[in-house]
Amino acid sequence: MKIVIIGHVCIDHNVSEKTSYIGPGGPGKFINKALGRIDNCQISIIAPYGQDFLLHLKGQKILPTKAVTKSTLTYKNITKKGKRIQKALNRKEARPIKIQKEEGRAIKQADVIFITPLLPNFTADYIKKINKLAKKNAVKVLLPQGYFRNFDAKNKVIFRKFSEADKVLPLVDFAIVSNRDYPDIENLSSVWAKKYKTTIIITLEDRGALIVEKDKKTLVPTKAVDKNRIIDSVGCGDVFSAGFAYGYFKTKSLVKAVGFANKLARKHLLP
């Protein structure tokens, strides 16, 4: 199984429930960590990164093979009592990678393609170029969190309307969002699913996840994790997304895929 993750990597400065650290971040890291141990998964990341990211590669296969800028997108995340405050630095340098020969080859071979922007700078035209290269049966999964983010004068992440939804959502098979990403996300997901024929998966923390299709909704529950046992929740949504895409590719069952994703995310939360 070949997987390509196209989006952003970053350097995280994290202060979470019971730990603090500086290290590589972004969906690519957590998807790679979740699926990289599975023998038949070959994972490539296509993302802009700087010279300062070279120390953080740690086995990740990233394209292009050379840094494209001096400084990598950096997120400062502080999580307290389940709430997260974020700041984002070095945003101007984090432009989508131009798809050249090596990147194109990886996309053409991929069974699963993740689109994972951490900034709202991935246009519909850029995703269309990816789709033109992709296999017809490749599973395309969007993690749209970057489209929900804007930034104030102090680099703090603030809410942004997903104004590109009309053009972007029809280009993917699935979009995975959190119940905290957007106001009234459940009703909005129903509108998206009916309008664009894209299946939306909403993660609901200790309640599991909700599958929103054009004509129905299906709740897939999970076994809740005691909040006092959580060491670090950063990346849990990305781990869930990894589990969903893998499970769906293997079974073609939405419920089984979400069930597997719930188990993988739960495992990520436990020490």
Is 102 part of a structural domain of the chain?
Answer: no
Instruction: In whole angstroms, give the CA distance from residue 241 to residue 72.
Output: 24
Three-class DSSP category at 221? coil
Residue 106 domain flag: no
Is 1 part of any domain?
no
Taking 80 as the threshold, does the pLDDT of residue 254 lie above it?
yes
Rg (CA), the chain: 17
Distance between CA 211 and CA 220 in Å, rounded?
8
Which residue did the predictor score with more confidence, 163 or 21?
A: 163
DSSP string across 82-144: TEEEEEEE--TT-PPPP--HHHHHHHHH-SEEEEE-SSS---HHHHHHHHHHS-TT-EEEE-G
Q: At what angle do helices 254-269 and 27-35 cross, to 10 degrees?
A: 100
The CATH number covering residue 143 comes to 3.40.1190.20
Using 50, 70 and 90 to split pLDDT, how confident is the model at 230? Answer: low
Whether 67 is in a domain gets the answer yes
Residue 171 lies in a domain: yes
pLDDT at 82: 65
pLDDT of residue 47: 97
Whether residue 231 has pLDDT greater than 70: no
Confidence of residue 1 (pLDDT cuts 50, 70, 90): very high
pLDDT higher than 80, residue 84: no
Question: Quick one: pLDDT at residue 235?
Answer: 78
Residue ranges making up the domain that contains 203: 6-97+111-129+138-269
pLDDT at 90: 96
pLDDT band at 81 (very low <50, low <70, confident <90, very high): low
Q: What is the pLDDT of residue 31?
A: 93
Q: Grade residue 146 by pLDDT with cuts at 50, 70 and 90.
A: very high
Contact at 8 Å (CB) between 203 and 178? yes
On whether residue 105 sits in a domain, the answer given is no
pLDDT confidence of residue 271: 62
The sheet carrying 42-46 orders its strands as 62-63, 42-46, 2-7, 112-116, 139-142, 174-178, 199-203, 209-212, 217-220
Nearest-angstrom CA–CA distance, 121 and 213: 27
Domain count, the chain: 1
Look at residue 213 and tell me whether its pLDDT is greater than 90: yes
pLDDT band at 204 (very low <50, low <70, confident <90, very high): very high
| In-domain check, residue 104 | no
pTM of the predicted structure, to 2 decimals: 0.92
More confident position, 127 or 57 = 127
